[in-house]
């Protein structure tokens, strides 16, 4: 059995094939890939006797760190050893629709025992990640509920690298289950970790006084927002969603919605044994923390809750000069109660995906997406294949903060500018898996 699908696109090609028995790589084209990701069952030992079974990449979860170079084409073979259709989304890259990893944009699905070769040129540089982009609905073994995710870093051509250590941290919940009742159903989790270990179960981060340590932090949650602190220390935030900010700012607490990333440098200037972790006591005590140990220090790790309110606008600057010419695109977000003991539905301008109206754009034009969040929840909304700039949050104007996910606060308006500079179908959705699956999604279409 052999099937080919070449979808024309400049600089990229997606290639699907059926695997014969015993094959473990895309059989053609004959060239070797730079990376291979095998989708299959994994067992994660978060701590002694805290064992999770899920689906992951290459026998582990999180999957391997992918280090790519900006502008250098890469070939990644994804082999699906699982039992259902899959695909991988390369989150935060400006790449063509047919390799972006979203069925709604036209990326081919990988059938069970099939393989897909993704070839693309990574850009822009920065902290990215990759994850399954299938709809899960009420199956909590699918999509971002599963262990199919990993960190990806796109190295810039010139990295100033003013740090002594670089550490990647993925905050993550495990073993999801449905919880709730009469006022709707939500997802709860049994275990919590940073990377693949619960607090105290893995190796500590070992530092020396005077070091500058760069943390590249991902909220890999399917559904939960996260507030993070590092006892006795503060974070000098240098990038949001991998995109450098003009003037780094120092804060005690970081907050990330699902899929957001923060790069921050910590000056190791307070010798001791400390906890970096979730501010939420219950979640941290259930595993979401990591010990940071200075050389020649010992004793039980200490936790001190962080102070301060997270606010994107402190990382931006006041807009100066006239507002750029941009067409306004109103997007009203509402929750629709779907019945007790059922999952809430979500609408954009009154419609659920796939019935939502597409956002129509012309190449080269600037658009101001006006999110009017009329619900009592904050939403981490994500635009594929583009980077946007935050222009205002709840009435506070800002500029210079470029992201691919923005948490839109409840009952308020958030504005972002996007330049339509990457033609092709582009998915827009809430990154809260249950919101996305139940309506909160639409397409941006170039006309
Ligand atoms: Cu949402």
Sorting pLDDT into bands at 50, 70 and 90, what band is 68?
Answer: very high
Pairing of strands 165-181, 212-219: parallel
Enter the tokens of residue 348: 């954009």
Q: Which pLDDT value is given to residue 2?
A: 32
Query: How would you list the strands of the sheet with 226-230, edge to edge?
Result: 205-207, 289-294, 273-278, 226-230, 254-256
Ligand 1 geometric centre to CA of 336 (Å)? 12
pLDDT at 3: 31
Give distance in angstroms: CA of 28 to centre of ligand 1: 40
Taking residues 31-36, report their average pLDDT: 93
Assess if residue 45 is contained within a domain: yes
How far CA 51 is from CA of 41, 44, 46, 249, in Å, comes to: 13, 6, 6, 39
380 and 407 within one domain: yes
Measure the CA–CA gap between 180 and 371, rounded to whole angstroms. 28
20/141 same-domain check: yes
Give domain status of residue 383, yes or no.
yes
State pLDDT tens for residues 109-139.
999 999 999 999 999 999 999 999 999 999 9
Q: Is residue 1 part of a domain?
A: no
Domain enclosing residue 175, as ranges: 165-310
- Predicted confidence (pLDDT) per residue in 331-350, tens digit: 999 999 887 778 899 999 99
Give distance in angstroms: CA of 335 to centre of ligand 1. Answer: 9
State in Å: Cα 221 to ligand 1 middle: 13
Query: Is the model's pLDDT at 21 over the cut of 70?
Result: no
Distance 435 CA to ligand 1 centre (A): 5
Residue 13 scores a pLDDT above 60: no
pLDDT tens digits, one per residue of 373-397: 999 999 999 999 999 999 999 999 9
The verdict on residue 194 lying in a domain is yes
Residues 256 and 334 grouped into a single domain: no
CATH number of the domain encompassing residue 342: 2.60.40.420
Model pLDDT, residue 339? 79
Assess whether 218 and 140 both reside in one domain. no
Q: How far is the CA of 88 from the centre of ligand 1 (A)?
A: 21
Whether the per-residue pLDDT at 1 is higher than 80: the answer is no
Q: How far is the CA of 273 from the centre of ligand 1 (A)?
A: 37
- pLDDT band for 16, please (50, 70, 90 cuts): low
Q: Is the pLDDT of residue 5 over 50?
A: no
Using the mean position of ligand 1's atoms as its centre, give its distance from the Cα of residue 257 in Å. Answer: 10
In degrees and rounded to multiples of 5, residue 104 shows phi and psi of: -65, -25
What pLDDT is stored for residue 160 in this prediction?
A: 67
Q: Compute the average pLDDT of residues 148-173.
A: 92
Q: Per the structure block, which two tokens stand in for 362?
A: 């012309």
> How many whole angstroms from 343 Cα to the centroid of ligand 1?
13
Cis peptide before 354 (omega within 30 of 0): yes
**266 and 141 co-located in one domain:** no
pLDDT at 209 over 90: yes
Q: What is the pTM of this model?
A: 0.94
Give me the residues paired with residue 122 across strands.
none
Alpha carbon of 71 to ligand 1 centroid (Å): 33
* Mean pLDDT across 225-250: 97
| Any domain includes 8 | no
For residues 35 and 129, state if they share a domain. yes
Q: Verify that 176 and 143 share a domain, yes or no.
A: no
- For CA atoms 108, 187, 426, 316, give the dihedral sign: negative
Using the mean position of ligand 1's atoms as its centre, give its distance from the Cα of residue 144 in Å: 14
C-alpha 430 to ligand 1 mean position (Å):
5
Decide if 321 is inside a domain. no
State the chain's mean pLDDT as an integer.
93
The CB-based long-range contact list for 362-366 (8 Å cut-off, 24+ gap) reads: 362/420, 362/446, 362/447, 363/420, 363/421, 363/423, 363/446, 364/419, 364/420, 364/421, 365/327, 365/419, 365/420, 366/324, 366/325, 366/326, 366/327, 366/417, 366/418, 366/419, 366/420
Greatest Cα-to-Cα distance within the chain, rounded to the nearest angstrom: 63
- Euclidean distance between CA atoms 11 and 122, whole angstroms: 11
The pLDDT of residue 17: 60
The residue that leads in pLDDT, 344 or 307, is 307
| Strand pairing category for 396-403 and 88-91 | unpaired
Any domain includes 358: yes
Residue 4 has pLDDT above 90, yes or no: no
Which strands make up the sheet holding 35-47, listed edge to edge? 13-18, 114-120, 74-80, 35-47, 50-57
The verdict on 150 and 170 lying in the same domain is no
> Residue 355 has which token pair?
């019935």
Mean pLDDT on 80-101: 97
Whether residues 189 and 127 share a domain: the answer is: no
Shared domain check, 302 and 335: no
> What are the residues whose beta carbon lies below 5 Å from ligand 1 (ion)?
379, 430, 432, 435
The β-bridge relationship of strands 243-251 and 184-194 is unpaired
Higher pLDDT: 73 or 183? It is 73
Which of 155, 187, 212 is the last residue in one of the domains?
155
Q: Final residue of a domain: which of 155, 179, 213?
A: 155
Q: Verify that 332 and 240 share a domain, yes or no.
A: no
Which secondary-structure segment (H or E) carries 285? helix 281-285
The verdict on 285 and 350 lying in the same domain is no
22: Cβ contacts below 8 Å, ≥ 6 apart: none
Q: Work out the angle at residue 364's Cα, subtended by the Cα atoms of residues 358 and 416, and round it to the nearest 5 degrees.
A: 60
Q: How many helices (H) and strands (E) does the chain have?
A: 3, 31
**What pLDDT band is residue 71 in, cutting at 50, 70 and 90?**
very high
How many residues are present in the chain?
447
End-of-domain residue from the set 130, 155, 180:
155
The model's pLDDT over 227-237, given as tens digits with 9 standing for 90+, comes to: 999 999 999 99
* Count of structural domains within the chain: 3
- Those residues with Cβ within 8 angstroms of residue 239's Cβ, 6 or more apart along the chain or in another chain: 126, 127, 245, 261, 262, 263
DSSP one-letter code for 283: H
pLDDT of residue 184: 72
Mean pLDDT of the 347-359 span: 98
Residue 316 contacts residue 401 (beta carbons within 8 Å): yes
The CA R_g of the chain, rounded to the nearest whole Å, is: 21
Residue 359 within a domain: yes
């Amino acid at each position: 059995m052999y099937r080919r699908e070449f979808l024309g696109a400049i600089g990229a090609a997606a290639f699907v094939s059926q695997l014969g028995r015993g094959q473990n790589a895309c059989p053609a084209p004959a060239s070797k890939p730079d990376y291979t990701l095998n989708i299959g069952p994994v067992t994660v030992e978060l701590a002694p006797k805290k064992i999770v079974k899920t689906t992951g990449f290459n026998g582990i979860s999180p999957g391997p760190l992918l280090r790519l170079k900006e502008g250098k084409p890469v070939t990644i073979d994804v082999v699906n050893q699982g039992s259902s259709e899959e695909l991988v989304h390369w989150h935060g890259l400006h790449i063509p629709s047919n390799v972006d990893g979203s069925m709604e944009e036209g990326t081919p699905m990988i059938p069970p025992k099939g393989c897909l070769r993704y070839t693309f040129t990574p850009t822009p540089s920065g902290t990215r990640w990759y994850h399954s982009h299938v709809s899960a609905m009420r199956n909590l073994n699918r999509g971002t509920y599963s262990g199919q995710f990993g960190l990806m870093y796109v190295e810039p051509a010139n990295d100033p690298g003013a740090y002594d250590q670089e550490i990647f941290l993925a905050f993550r919940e495990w073993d999801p289950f449905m919880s709730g009742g009469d006022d709707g159903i939500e997802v709860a989790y049994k275990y919590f970790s940073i990377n693949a270990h619960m607090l105290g179960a893995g190796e500590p981060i070992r530092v020396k006084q005077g070091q500058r340590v760069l943390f590249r932090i991902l909220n890999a949650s399917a559904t939960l927002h996260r507030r993070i602190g590092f006892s006795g220390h503060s974070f000098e935030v240098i990038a949001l969603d991998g995109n450098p900010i003009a003037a780094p700012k120092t804060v005690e607490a970081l907050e990330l919605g699902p899929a957001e990333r923060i790069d921050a440098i910590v000056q190791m200037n307070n010798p001791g044994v400390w906890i970096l972790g979730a501010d939420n006591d219950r979640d941290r005590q259930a595993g979401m923390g990591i010990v940071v140990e200075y050389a020649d220090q010992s004793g039980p790790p200490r936790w001190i809750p962080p102070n301060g309110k997270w606010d994107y606008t402190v990382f931006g600057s006041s807009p100066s000069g006239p507002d750029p010419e941009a067409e306004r695109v109103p997007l009203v977000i509402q929750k629709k109660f779907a019945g007790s003991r059922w999952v809430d539905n979500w609408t954009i301008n009154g419609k659920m995906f796939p019935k939502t109206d597409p956002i129509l754009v012309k190449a080269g034009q600037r658009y101001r997406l006006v999110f009017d969040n009329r619900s009592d929840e904050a939403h981490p909304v994500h635009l594929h294949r583009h980077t946007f700039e935050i222009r205002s949050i709840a009435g506070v104007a800002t500029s210079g903060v470029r992201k691919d996910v923005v948490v839109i606060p409840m009952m308020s308006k958030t504005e972002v500018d996007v330049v339509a500079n990457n033609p092709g179908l582009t998915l827009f959705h809430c990154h809260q898996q249950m919101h996305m699956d139940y309506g909160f999604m639409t397409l941006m279409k170039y006309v």
